[in-house]
Structures are given as structure tokens and as C-alpha cells.
Structure 1
Amino acid sequence: MLVGTAVVGCKVGNPYKRPVLYTGTPTYYTPGGVPTDTLLLVTQEVKDSMLLSEIPWGEYLQDTVLVGLIEEALVNNIDMQKALQNLHIGMESLEQSKANFLPSVNSTPGGYRSDYYSENYNNYGSNRARKNHGEGAIPNSFYTERLEYSSALQASWEADIWGKLRWKKEAARAQYMKSVAFKKALQTAIISEVAATYYNLLMLKAQIAVAKQNFQLNDSTLNIVRLQYDAGETTSLAVRQTQSRMLKSKTLIPELQCAYALEENKLNQLLGRFPQPIVITSELDEVRFQDIYETGVPLDLIKNRPDVAMAEYELIRRNAKAGVAEALTYPQLTIDASLGLNSRTLDGFLNPVSSGFAILNGAIFQPIFNNRKLKTNYRVALSEKEIAQLDFKDTLIDAIGDVSGSLATLDKLEEEYAIAQERIQVTRQGLKDAGLLFKSGFANYLEVIAAQTDALESELNLIAIKKQILIANVELYRSLGGGWQ
């Protein structure tokens, strides 16, 4: 017990402590758009509400089709499968670091033939050849043969006096946990990417429907202009311009359909499968999110982010590497043991009493001069630890900025969407009025075309903003570290 206490007390290196990265209260963005020095960021005052990042992604997204696609992606996505294999590799390395505390044991059974020659006889090769061919005899003092039978178990164990093996184990554990965090980060990214691609498909689906409606409207207008031309009430220029507008609106349909096919291929790739049609029954206006939540305080905002965890595990690993580098500058105690049988004759080899042997050796290795390698490695390890700490701080700053940016984006998109809704009411009424005036002869075809163009743009713009709001909700969820639970 005293020996174990003494060995533990000799551990070199510094135990990991999370660095203090803030000296004061930072300023954060609030949903109202005003910076504040308070730490509380709440999107909705709801009693007993939960942090947004702690809501399961299936409950947050509330779309059975999207949930099914995400579930498939989390199983079949190629990057996710590679991450799982890297996780297995990390686990094997961790188990290896634990096994370093145990002695290594090897077996060396076999038979040996030894040839001995006189040190003073220079032509022993020729003499041996003559002997093998019967051309003369060689004195026993010049040439000797000996057979030897041996079998042994050899064990070697290094005493972890300075904590080198324990630091290696901590480094391996940190690397494994970093792989776990990477897998979580990848899962969050896949959920976000699948959702964003899915919402792009919904947007394009809605825009294709609007484009088809607009084409039908333009085609109807063209028919009216043609009738007016036949009646001598308008010119051929009006027919051509109206027809040009109709063809332009018709061109938009295959353009949007092409974009839809590309997004569909992208989603199939995320799902880890070959291109194939994806059945989407949902509509853009039907999408809803879980909205009973609060964002929490800054530490809670980022505590679930896998990239923050990865940065901290890398700092822990670098700290452990510095401990290993320092321990290598101190003496190393190795104990070797052998137990086996050895005899010149096969009969004697089979008799353990006469052929048995046991050897126990202890060796201390003290590095003295290695061309400054150990000192250099230690100082480099300390610098790499400082770099990892700076990376950790940078990741924290980026994480909080990410959350702040997501809140700002979502807030402003809601304002933009309200304006777009107001605009679309105006353009729809304008389109209706233009049609009535055109049919009654109080508006010309140019005014109708302008009203149709404005209405189309407002419809497509409203759909695009709706899609951006959906993606912004997913990005806020991702920036808070949700989706990997």
C-alpha cells in the first residue's frame, strides 16, 4: 500500500483543469434585437419549459416524412458509417492503453544448433568443407558442434513510476471521447443537412406549382390579346410581347424542375443510396416546429455542442501528451523474468528437475544525452497544449456567436416574412384589378403583364422566405447542439 502511494505521488505533469476563458460578462444578442449584458436568453416565457437543445429531434421537427428520412440517413449515410468505424478504432486504442499496465508475456520454444570455431584458425571454412567431404580431419579444438533444446516463458513489466502509462491512457481516453463527440457532431450535421435539403424540396415543389399557375394565367392573357388583335383592338406588338412573357413563364417550370431533381439527388446521397424518386406528401405551409422551449443561459446554450466537446477533449489529450513527454525525461524501471527448460539432450530437456531455470532481472534506464530530443519533445508538447487551449477558446467564441447569429437570423426573417405576406396581398389584389380593367378596356396588356410579374415575384419570394425560416429553425437547433441525443 505504501509503495502504491509512493508511485502515485511520483506522477509528473499537471492534472487537467478547464481554463477560465472569461473575465467578465459578455454581451449577447436577444430575440428583441437589442444587445444585453444579462445572461438570460429566453424566446418564450413558459413555466417548466426545457432547453431547446434537449428536445429530441423527432419531437422538434414534427414531420413524419422528414423524421423517416433522417432515421434512414443516420443508419446508411456513408460518413456516419466511417465515423462508427473510427469509433471502433478509438476504442481499440483505449483498450490497448489499459493493457500497457500489464506485463507482456512471450513464449520461445525451439531447438538450436551452435557451431564454434577456433579464434586463432583463419581457414576454418575450408577445413569445415574438407570435413564435410571427408577430405581430412579437423581437430576438435578448432571445430565444435552443439545441439541445444530450450523452451521458456519471458515476461517484461514496466513500473509506471512517473505516470507515463497513466498519461498515455488519459490521452487515449480523450482521443476516444473526441471520436464520440465527432460522431455526435456528424449526426447533428446530417440531421441539419437532411432537413435543409428536404425544405429546399418543399420550396421547389411549391414554386413549381406557382410557376404552373402563372403560366396558365399568362396563357389565358395571351388568348385574350389574340382575340383583341383579331378584332382589331390591339397591335401585333402586343401579341408578341404577351407571347414572349408567356414563354418566359413557361421556361421557369423546367428550370425549377431541374433544381428539384438536383436536390433530390443530394438527399439520396445523404441517405446513402443511389438516385431514386423521393415521395414527399407534405406541403411547405404545413411544416411546424416545437415552440415551447427556452434557449437558457450561455453555458447551457453551448454545453451540448459536440464541437465544443471535441475541442476540450483535444485539450485534455494535449495535456496528457505533455505529461508523457515529461515522464520520458525521468528514469524508467523495467523488470524482466524468464521461466523455462534448457538442455543439450532431448532426454534431459524432458526432465524439469535437471533442465528447469528461472531468471529475474531489473533494469533502470536513465536518459542522459539524446541530442536534446527529450527536452525538445517536452517543450513542443507544452506549446501544442497552449495551441489546443486557444483552439478551445476560439471554438467557444464561435459557438456563442453561432447561437447569437441564428437567433438574429430567425428574428429578422420573421419580420421579413410578415412584410412579404403584406406585399403578396397587395400584388394579388393588383393582379385581380388589372385583369378586370383589362377585360373592360381600362388597362392595356403592359399593365397586366407588370401585375402578373409582380405577383409571381411576390409568391416566389414568400415561399423562399418561408423556407429560410424553416432552415433557420433547424440551424438554431443545430447551433445549440441539439439532435445527437
Structure 2
Amino acid sequence: MQIKILSLLSSAVFITACASGPVQTPKINYADNYSSVSHQVATKNTVLDSNWWHAFQSPVLNNLMQVAQQQSLDLLMSAERVKQAELQMRIANASLFPSLSASASSGESRTEPQGGSNSRSESTRASVNISYEVDLWGGIAAGRTAAQAGYAASRYDQEAAALSINAAIASSWFQWLALQERIATAHKNVAIAERVQNIVQARYNNGAATAADVAQQKTNLLTQQSSLLPLELQARQTQSALAILLGKTPQEFALATEYLLDIAVPQIAAGTPADLVNRRPDLAASEANLRAANANIDVARAALLPGISLSANAGKSATELFSLNPVTQSSGWALSLAQTVFNGGRLLNQKRLSEARRSELLLQYHKAILTALQEVDNALVAADVGQRQEASQQEIVANAARSLTLTEARYRAGSDDLLSLLDAQRSLFQAQDSLVQQRLSRLNAAVDLYKALGGGWALAVQE
């Protein structure tokens, strides 16, 4: 028996010595800078404001963000998930303490044997039991570590959800403003088409135009009018989506308007790729899940080893109802050792399953980092290209405005007809519409870059 015990303890010590060490992290060769930093500032210690939307200098957007912090159902749901994870952590922490239970009973029994005299007995008993499982192999501590890592992952997920929701609110707001200005431009083009239609009709009545000219211009007018419908539908859908993000009903929701071109496009410092791991809450959540999986391996490994528990009890009993006087006192303690001898390999396979899960999460973490680096690069490229495209479009608008001015002068002098003037107006309106779309692209690129960089979140501050 002594040999068996020594063999069992030796095996336990060997398996414990093989317990998982520090959490393995992926090895990534980070570049010194992102591939596109032409107009961005690349510094090693970049600090972004957590209220990054203030950089757009939009009072309405600031108000929308404030409403979202209080009423967004998505943010409230993520907060509830954090509470659940915290309670799970508290449940795991309760295993540190012994279990205490108390019981009390009082009763009476009667027996009536056939042919004999009746007998009656009474009893009252009260007892207290204490039990404690000794964490000799670290399985309970590993369970606590896994629960703490799960709680941390839930907090990081909440921060990541808040960042995504705020980015969606900003993008939806900019989209709605752009649609309002595009609708106004479409109305101007419809008015021009109607004036041209009247001119062509008058020329046809005077024999200076053909029926084909009238039909062609009528088609142009109908096309301009029909182009309004999808823009109006998209604006309504965007407003409804924004209402849902803010926790409001679409019917009660109304938006104040701003001029999209008055909204500032911030210059964002990208920092270095190596800093990104500590600046994105979703990456921190992936790492926390990896820590939890690592701890679960220790839990599964400890389940292979014998369990040791201590217990003690004390009680009093008496042969009278609801009385403990005179009493009989009892007490005792026990040390128990339990070891699963055979379970068809269930515990061993559970350990292997935990190891496979950790390997999967390690690969997921690696991919998440690479994807995050790609998102920053894409956002930087979009911001750079968008800035150049908007500058080019501004020149186009300036030339279209200059052309309209010259055409108006020629029209007043009688050198050009009204159709040339209306065509110059249409060209200017279309150029302005394209400029609005270019500004929208730049604003969305800035939002994407803020989101890709973590929106001012920092792991060191959170921890």
C-alpha cells in the first residue's frame, strides 16, 4: 500500500510539474511604420482622445454620442454581459472558502407491533458540517484564473462594442448629412430639367424643334425626378438605423441638420504597428480568452489527479421534542482521498480538448492581430487617397463655377442661349454633388481609422 501511495504521489508531482507555463503569444515581425503615412503623423507614443468624435467639430454628433451612452440598447446589453462575467468570477472565487452547512430536525415515531404494546420515541438533533477541498494540484486556482480572464475578456468586448457602435453612429450621421445635400442638388437638377423642358416645348410649338427633341427632354426630366426616390428612401432608412443605434423609435426620431463640408476632417496620428496590440480592446479580449484557455488546461490536468478534502462536524441530539437538554454531543473529522480509476479516457480527452482549444485561440489571436494591422493600413490609404480626390474635386467645382459665371455673362450679352446656361448650372450642381460624396468618403475613412486604432483605448489604462 505504501508503494502504491508513493507511486501515485510521484505521478502527481510529475504531472503537476508539466503544468502550463506563461501564455504563449504569436510571434509577429512588426514593421517600423505603416505602409501609408504620407499625410499622417507617425509617432511611437501616440495618444488618442477617447472622445475621438469631438475632433470632427460637429455639435450635433457630440449630442448623439451623449444620448447613445445613456440609451443605446446595444451598449446596455454589453454592460449586462459584463455583469454576468463578474458573477461567474465571484462564483469561482467562492471555491477558496470552506463550505459550511447546518441542519436541525425534531420528530416523533410510534410503533404498534401485532400482539404487543405500543411504543413511542422522540428525537431532536442539531448539527454543523464544514468541508473544504484542498487545492493541492492548483485546479481550483486555475479555475479562478480562467474566470478572471473571462471577466476581463467581457470588459474588453464591451469596450470594443462601444467603439463599433460609436463609429456606426458617426458614419450614419455623416451619411444622412450627405444624403440631405445630394437630395437638395437633385431637386436643383429637376428644376433645371423642367426649365429646359419648357424651352424645348416652346421651340417645338414654334417649329424650331422636333417631337424627338421634346421626347428626349421629357425622358431626361423623368430620369432626374426618378433619381430623387432612391436618395429619399436611403435617407429615411439611414435615419431609422441611427434611431435604433440610439435606442429610440424611428417615428419619434428627428435630426437637426448641418452642412457636411463644414465638418472638420481630423488628422490622426497612427503610431507604430507594434503599439496596436495594446490599443485595441478586441485584441485584448482575444488575449484574455487565450489566458482563460490556458488556465482551463490546468483545470483539466488537475482533474486527472486525486482529490483531497477535509471535513468536520459537530452536533447535539436529545430524546425529547424541540429540546436539547439533556443532550448527547457528537463531533468528528475526516480526511478523504478520491481518485478516478477508470472513466473510458474522458478526463484525459478533456485535457486534450482544452489543449486543442488553446491552439485554436492562439491562431485566432494571431489572425486578429494581422487583420487589425490590415485595417489600419486600409484606413490610412483611404484617408490619403480621399484627401487627394477631394482636392481634385474642389478644383473641378471651382472650374465649373467659373464656367457658369462666364456663361451667365455671355447669356446676358446675347452670345449664348438659355440652354447653354442651364447646362453650365447642371455641371456645377453635379460637381458639387461629387464633392459632397468625396467629403463623405474622407469622413468615413477618418472614422474607420479611429476604429482601427482603438479609438483612444489603452490596455495599460484599463488594467
Which TM-score applies when normalising by structure 1?
A: 0.82
Q: Choose from 54, 58, 63 the match for 2:58.
A: 63
**What root-mean-square deviation, in Å, do the aligned CA atoms of Structure 1 and Structure 2 show?**
3.1
**Inter-CA distance 453–115: structure 2 relative to 1 (3 Å threshold):** farther
Range moving further from structure 2, 469-478 or 293-302:
293-302
In percent, how many aligned pairs have the same letter? Answer: 22
Q: Choose from 303, 327, 331 the match for 1:358.
A: 331
- Alpha-carbon separation, structure 1, partners of 2:67 and 2:371: 30
Q: How far 1:191 sits from its partner (Å)?
A: 0.6
- Alpha-carbon separation, structure 2, partners of 1:347 and 1:443: 114
Whether 1:109 and 2:104 are equivalent positions in the alignment is: yes
Q: How far 1:31 sits from its partner (Å)?
A: 2.5
For 2:98, give the aligned amino acid: P
Whether 1:321 and 2:318 are equivalent positions in the alignment is: no
Residues 463-482 of structure 1: pairs in structure 2 closer than 5 A: 463-482=436-455
1:218-244 CA-to-partner distances (Å, cap 9, x unmatched) read 223333334434444333433333333
- Alpha-carbon separation, structure 2, partners of 1:169 and 1:186: 25
- Alpha-carbon separation, structure 1, partners of 2:452 and 2:116: 87
Query: What is aligned with 2:373?
Result: 400
Query: What is aligned with 1:73?
Result: 68
Q: Choose from 40, 45, 58 the match for 1:43.
A: 40
Residues 393-432 of structure 1: pairs in structure 2 closer than 5 A: 393-430=366-403
Range moving further from structure 2, 375-384 or 179-188:
375-384
Q: How far 1:69 sits from its partner (Å)?
A: 0.6
Whether 1:150 and 2:125 are equivalent positions in the alignment is: yes
Question: What are structure 2's unaligned runs of at least 5 residues?
Answer: 1-12, 459-463
Which TM-score applies when normalising by structure 2?
A: 0.86
Q: How far 1:82 sits from its partner (Å)?
A: 1.1
For 1:105, give the aligned amino acid: L
For 2:41, give the aligned amino acid: Q
Structure possessing the higher radius of gyration over alpha carbons = 1
**Inter-CA distance 115–360: structure 2 relative to 1 (3 Å threshold):** farther
Q: Secondary structure at the match of 1:67?
A: helix
Q: Choose from 247, 266, 280 the match for 1:305.
A: 280
Query: What is aligned with 2:228?
Result: 253
Whether 1:238 and 2:210 are equivalent positions in the alignment is: no
Question: What are structure 1's unaligned runs of at least 5 residues?
Answer: 1-6, 33-41, 117-127
Contact 2:147–2:292 (CA under 8 A) maintained in structure 1: yes
- Alpha-carbon separation, structure 1, partners of 2:444 and 2:122: 80
Query: What is aligned with 1:137?
Result: 115
Whether 1:287 and 2:263 are equivalent positions in the alignment is: yes
Contact 2:30–2:273 (CA under 8 A) maintained in structure 1: no
Q: How far 1:459 sits from its partner (Å)?
A: 2.9
Query: What is aligned with 2:4?
Result: none
Contact 1:113–1:148 (CA under 8 A) maintained in structure 2: yes
For 1:473, give the aligned amino acid: A
1:359-416 CA-to-partner distances (Å, cap 9, x unmatched) read 2111111222221111111111111111111111111111111111111111112222
Number of aligned residue pairs: give it: 443
Contact 1:187–1:484 (CA under 8 A) maintained in structure 2: no
- Alpha-carbon separation, structure 2, partners of 1:454 and 1:432: 12
- Alpha-carbon separation, structure 1, partners of 2:133 and 2:18: 16
Whether 1:171 and 2:146 are equivalent positions in the alignment is: yes
Query: What is aligned with 1:37?
Result: none
For 1:392, give the aligned amino acid: Y
For 2:383, give the aligned amino acid: L
Q: How far 1:313 sits from its partner (Å)?
A: 0.5
Range moving further from structure 2, 455-464 or 177-186:
455-464
Q: How far 1:453 sits from its partner (Å)?
A: 5.8
Q: Secondary structure at the match of 2:333?
A: strand
Q: How far 1:346 sits from its partner (Å)?
A: 3.5
Q: Secondary structure at the match of 1:213?
A: helix
- Alpha-carbon separation, structure 2, partners of 1:92 and 1:24: 38
Query: What is aligned with 2:82?
Result: 87
1:298-330 CA-to-partner distances (Å, cap 9, x unmatched) read 122342211101110010000000010011111
Range moving further from structure 2, 171-180 or 241-250:
241-250
Q: How far 1:73 sits from its partner (Å)?
A: 1.4
- Alpha-carbon separation, structure 1, partners of 2:30 and 2:389: 35
- Alpha-carbon separation, structure 2, partners of 1:151 and 1:253: 83
- Alpha-carbon separation, structure 1, partners of 2:395 and 2:375: 30
**Inter-CA distance 393–45: structure 2 relative to 1 (3 Å threshold):** closer
For 2:105, give the aligned amino acid: G
Range moving further from structure 2, 301-310 or 185-194:
301-310
Q: Secondary structure at the match of 2:106?
A: strand
- Alpha-carbon separation, structure 2, partners of 1:199 and 1:408: 20
Whether 1:385 and 2:361 are equivalent positions in the alignment is: no
Contact 1:242–1:449 (CA under 8 A) maintained in structure 2: no
Contact 2:106–2:322 (CA under 8 A) maintained in structure 1: no
- Alpha-carbon separation, structure 1, partners of 2:98 and 2:74: 38
For 2:56, give the aligned amino acid: L
Q: How far 1:154 sits from its partner (Å)?
A: 1.2
Query: What is aligned with 1:16?
Result: 22
